[in-house]
Amino acid sequence: MADEADWAPLSPYATGVRGRCPRCGQGHLFDGFLTLRPSCEVCGLDYSFADPADGPAFFVICFACVPSIALAVWIEVAFQPLFWVHLLISLPFLLVTCILPLRPLKGWLVASQYFYKAEQGRLDRPIPVPQRGQDPTPEDAT
């Protein structure tokens, strides 16, 4: 497997939205609709670093579900159509705007985690709390 320095940095937008490996841009990121592959089949990058969690769902809820539901409510209030009209207009619109963006958003979040070398936060050492009457400047800060 090649060293990280051998790979030119690729844009997380270009690789993630297309579902490509964030390191080489050639291999596939997904195995199925939203399931991440264990590793890239081209460069061997291990995808175990990636944890987009609920990020894609959050973005879809904020930017797709809310406007889709608002459209359905507006159609109901403005025209008071029969129920089957909502089945033909509102439901497909809701499904398309909520399901289709999930994969590109998840790919973008995974590629961004790789590009920015994101990892779980941790504390290296505890920060000393100054005692009453003690100089607040640590000894090693001089």
Distance, CA of 33 to CA of 97 (rounded, Å): 16
98 contacts 64 by C-beta, under 8 angstroms: yes
Minimum mean pLDDT among 37-41, 122-126, 132-136: which range? 132-136
What pLDDT band is residue 2 in, cutting at 50, 70 and 90?
A: low
Q: Is 107 exposed, middle or buried (0-12, 13-18, 19+ CB in 10 A)?
A: buried
pLDDT digits (tens, 9 = 90+) for 68-100: 999 999 999 999 999 999 999 999 999 999 999
What pLDDT band is residue 139 in, cutting at 50, 70 and 90?
A: low
Q: What is the pLDDT of residue 12?
A: 95
Structure tokens at 106: 């998840």
pLDDT digits (tens, 9 = 90+) for 5-55: 788 999 999 999 999 999 999 999 999 999 999 999 999 999 999 989 999
Q: Per residue, what are the HEC states of 105-136?
A: HHHHHHHHHHHCCCCCCCCCCCCCCCCCCCCC
Q: Buried (b) or exposed (e) across 23-55, using 16+ Cβ within 10 A? A: bbbebebbeeeeebbeebeebebebeebebeeb
Beta bridge partners of 39: 46
What pLDDT band is residue 127 in, cutting at 50, 70 and 90?
A: confident
